[in-house]
Each structure stands twice: as structure tokens, then as C-alpha cells.
Amino acid sequence: MAATLWFCAVGVAWSLFWMRRADDSARTRMQQALWGVATRLLAAPGVAPGRTAPTVDPDRLMGHVRALAFERWTPADRARARGYLAHTLIELGHDPAQLAFAEGINLEVVRPGTDPTAGDVLLAAHYDSRHGSPGADDNATGVAVVLEAARLLRTPTPRGLRLVFFDAEERGLKGSLAYAQSPSRIKDLRAVVVLEMLGYACHTEGCQKHPEGLPLPAPTTGNFLAVVGDLEHIDLLRAFRGVERPAGGPGAVPIFALPVPGRGHALPDTRRSDHAPFWDQGIGAVMVTDTAELRNPHYHLPGDLPERLDAPFFTGAAQAVLDAVVALTATP
């Protein structure tokens, strides 16, 4: 069933490509049809999640956020943040590599897989912040979850796991562009999970906004985690749906999965983070986010502080990410 729907989705996508010069109403109808197929794909049975990750430590997560909650814009401040990351990784027993490019330095830790033909899963977050903002949510929360993965995800799996901290995201995705445009680095990549703000929630009806042109109904209360992925690799989205915990249970965070056709060009808001350069290389990638300014009024502002985060939501989001990454690395 899932394979049949996938071929239908690809057929619609190609039709949409050839209809770019058609009238707007025809394009709109085609887009709606494509997203309808995508919705059915998400509902189809996916890969069994298998084992879940070890339990994340809320105190460690918030400790990393507090340690990084300073403006990380200038070269000196980004070097300070990078020093904290490298020191933490070394304390955890890793040997982080510094990957320099023209505008900055990415950090990478690699855990090889047990099946050399299965490829790697990349888990990443950018560690720089916007000028004038301490960047607690954007993106110290994402960085903290990758550091927690470095502590917890040590058990060998068929697929290898790469942990990458991207530099210069706020300057135009420069770190991820440098990584994704390196043929040697992307050769064995099978999946990319990019974390972009994971710690802010709002709990009143209507506090959650949506980007213009969103084709699927979405919650209007901002207590969910959004996972945005390319339609051609929809199993990445289904992996996140597969590890969703029962509503109302401990650590439960609802997941809203958004499949995007055409590498997001029809919905530009879906291309605003470090997953987009991998989409452009034809590599399956998802962005995991609390939806940024669509719910967080402190986005890119001095008020993006640790005390404004929702710690239980952040903990549940971190657990969902690690559970999904374990499922993805266990699937050859």
C-alpha cells in the first residue's frame, strides 16, 4: 500500500513540475492532490520503531542551554561556544573533528555503523545565534539535544551516526551548505535530522500561527513538535510518527508531520534551516522545530532566554528526537 501511494505521489509531483506554466487554479488543485496523497502515506504502516533511546536528562539539557545562552554572532563568541561544545564532547569520550570552511567551523563526531553498506544518519543543530539575541531556544535547545545524543547513543547500530554542530546558519546556512556540497561527506548519507528550536511551547487556543499557504490543517495551540520533511523520503517523517508517545502519558509531545514536495520551493518557510542544502542534494532530510516565530514572540530578540522555555515540553521533544534517531540508525 505504502509503495503504491509513493508512486502516486511521485507521479503527481512530476505533473506539478510540468504544470508550472499552467494557470494558478490548476496548480493549486494539483498541490492539494499531492498533499492529500502525502497525508495518506503518513497514515500507512511504517517501519516498526524497535527499541527506544535511553531516557534524556532534563537537568543536563537545561544546563547546556544555560551555558550557551549568550550572543553567538561574532567570531569570538562563536569560538567560545565551540570551545564549550568541544570540551563537553571530549569529556564524554569523543574526539570531535573541526571542519573549517570560509565563514566558520563545523564540529563533527562520527560513530561508525556495524553494516558498512547501510550508510549513516546525520543529527545536527546550528550553534550560532542571531546578532543581539542570547539564542536560548534558537538554537541552544537543538545543540543541547545533540550533546545529549553524544552522551546516550553509544550502542552500535547497523547505520552509523554522525553528530554535527553547524556554524553560520544565521548568516545564510553557510555551515550546512559547506557540508552538503562536499561529495565525500554526503556520499554515504541516508538520512539527515536537523534540530531548529525545540524548547518553546504555548498552551492557549490561537497562540500558534501557521505559514501562509500551509495545505494541511494544523493545531492552533503551540504544544506540538513540527517535523518537516521532503515527500520523496517520507519514511523519515513516519519514523517520528512511529515513536510518538500516547497522548497524556509522561513526556508525551504531539508530533505534526508536514510532507513537502518539490524541495520546499512552493512553501519557502519550510526551507529556512540547515536541512534545505541536503534537500537540494537529493538527500532525505527533516527539520524538527517548535515553529520559531510562529509561536515564540522572543525569536531573534534579547528575550530569547532560558527562563522563557517550557522545560517539560523541551524534555519530551528531546526524547522524541532521540527515539526517532535510534529507530533510523537501527534500520539498514
Distance CA 326, CA 329 (A): 5
**202 and 281 both lie in a single domain:** yes
**37 and 55 both lie in a single domain:** no
Q: Is the pLDDT at 104 greater than 90, yes or no?
A: yes
**168 and 27 both lie in a single domain:** no
Q: How many domains does the chain have?
A: 2
Q: Of the given ranges (29-38, 126-135, 140-149, 313-322), which has the lowest mean pLDDT?
A: 29-38
Distance CA 285, CA 278 (A): 6
**32 and 116 both lie in a single domain:** no
Contact (CB, 8 A) for 98 and 107? yes
**221 and 305 both lie in a single domain:** yes
Round to the nearest angstrom and report the end-to-end CA distance of the chain.
21
**320 and 202 both lie in a single domain:** yes
All three cell numbers of 331, joined, read 534500520
State what percent of residues in the chain have pLDDT above 90: 73
Q: Residue 276 to residues 280, 293, 320: CA-CA distances in angstroms? A: 6, 19, 22
Q: Is the pLDDT at 83 greater than 90, yes or no?
A: yes
**Sign of the CA dihedral with 264 first, then 265, 266, and 268 last:** positive
Residue 42 banded pLDDT, cuts 50, 70, 90: low
Q: Of the given ranges (10-24, 56-70, 74-88), which has the lowest mean pLDDT?
A: 10-24
**203 and 289 both lie in a single domain:** yes
Contact (CB, 8 A) for 288 and 240? yes
Q: Residue 243 is part of which domain span?
A: 49-329
Residue 144 banded pLDDT, cuts 50, 70, 90: very high
Does a cis peptide bond (omega within 30 degrees of 0) precede residue 139?
Answer: yes
The mean pLDDT value for 135-151 works out to: 98
Closest alpha carbon to 51 in 284, 314, 328: 328
319 alpha-carbon distance from chain centroid: 13
**25 and 111 both lie in a single domain:** no
**200 and 149 both lie in a single domain:** yes
Residue 247 banded pLDDT, cuts 50, 70, 90: low
The mean pLDDT value for 27-40 works out to: 60
83 alpha-carbon distance from chain centroid: 23
The mean pLDDT value for 296-322 works out to: 97
CATH number at residue 269: 3.40.630.10
**41 and 60 both lie in a single domain:** no
Per DSSP, 268 falls in state G
All three cell numbers of 61, joined, read 539539557
pTM of structure: 0.89
**204 and 119 both lie in a single domain:** yes
